[in-house]
Amino acid sequence: MIPAHNEEVTVAGVINGHRDVARSLAKSFELIVCDDGSTDGTAAALAEVRTKIPELRVIRNEVRSGIPYTMKRLYAEARGEWIYFAPADGQVPAAALPPMWSIRDGAALVVGRRVPRRDPASRVLIAQVYSALLRRIFRLPVHDIDSVKLYRAEELRAVPPRSTSNFFEAEILISLCSRRRTVRETEVPHRPRIAGAAKGVTPGAAFLAMKDTVLFTIGWLLRRTR
């Protein structure tokens, strides 16, 4: 699964790379891309590559709806036993999937830890602080909370997130760990962005994510004290 917003330069290469890797790992698979209201040439790039890849399915949000909505839509559309997602910017190459795939047996979730992470220092610092706090509070076995993930589909659907903010991925992870499901993490490559603009979190989205994090944490702690 690939969420894409204004990634006309990279999206076709990301799709082709994941097609090649998926063909080497599984007998059958599907690639689903959600164009999140792109205003550049992303739609045209997807239309062209779709004629060459029968495993590709493209869906579109008519207006930009954001990562939480787009990812939840992709999760709902997926039909396989395992669900993997990667961004359309190409920063996490298709080469990240094989090491995650190789340790999936018995796991509900495999997380790819981006090492070294090739993002601006400020973004890396914020992500590290966020991940460290959640790891400490919820005793999570994962260092890179918002990285690429490989879910067992039935386990993912058993813990639908309530959050409508960017906290939703962390909520899924926490819920799986709270249910004592096996979660593993392995290092994956990460590349600098080569085109387009980083889809940074807006102040409004950051506030909503902080609110969801605080409310979820309070509720979780209260349940543990009962």
pLDDT digits (tens, 9 = 90+) for 38-91: 999 999 999 999 999 999 999 999 999 999 999 999 999 999 999 999 999 999
Domain residue limits, the chain: 2-225
DSSP assignment of 26-76 = -SS--EEEEEES--SSHHHHHHHHHTT-TTEEEEEESS---HHHHHHHHHH
Residue 38 pLDDT = 96
Domain 2-225 of CATH type 3.40.50.10210: no
CA distances from 137 to 37, 152, 192 (A): 36, 25, 31
pTM equals 0.90
Give me Rg for the CA atoms of the chain. 17
pLDDT digits (tens, 9 = 90+) for 82-111: 999 999 999 999 999 999 999 999 999 999
| Cα–Cα dist 221/226, whole Å | 9
Please identify which residue in the block is written with the tokens 């387009």: 196
pLDDT digits (tens, 9 = 90+) for 153-199: 999 999 999 898 999 999 999 999 999 999 999 999 999 988 766 66
